[in-house]
Amino acid sequence: MTSHTASFTVQMAPGAPIDGAADRFSLTKTWTGDAEGISRGTMLTAGDPETGSAGYIASELFEGSVGGRTGTLAFQQLGTMTGGAPALQYVIVPGSGTGDLAGTTGTLEIGEIHDDGRHEVRFTLG
């Protein structure tokens, strides 16, 4: 297993609603650090975040480098909040890697989220 640290900023734009989701957003993340590149994806949300109970799913395609290896990877997120307590799964989709990233598996863990919106992330690669 190897570990890499990176950060991203995210831009989100509302999209047209679809069945099964309260809201839909397009997202673009700019990655820096041990992961350099851009990811683009879609997020679907439901629930009532104002009361501390909500959830989202997101899928994104990353293009760039991780730990000096270049290619593409798909990421999936599943986030829930129950009574204000968050739970998050953030994984690399198995079989999604191309180029030097072919065969890459692992997880991402979001750490500190800064006031300017920058998210700190640790990649754990298998």
> Residue 126: is its pLDDT beyond 90?
no
Task: Summarize pLDDT for 37-54 with one digit per residue, the tens.
Answer: 999 999 999 999 889 999
Place of tokens 């995210």: 10
Q: Within 10 Å of residue 123's Cβ, how many Cβ atoms?
A: 22
Amino acid sitting at position 109:
E
Helix (H, G, I), strand (E, B) or coil at 106: strand
Q: pTM of whole model > 0.85?
A: yes
Question: What sections of 32-79 are H helices per DSSP?
Answer: none
Task: Summarize pLDDT for 54-94 with one digit per residue, the tens.
Answer: 999 999 999 999 999 999 999 999 999 999 899 999 999 99
Q: Are 91 and 104 in contact (CB under 8 A)?
A: no
Place of tokens 């990811």: 39
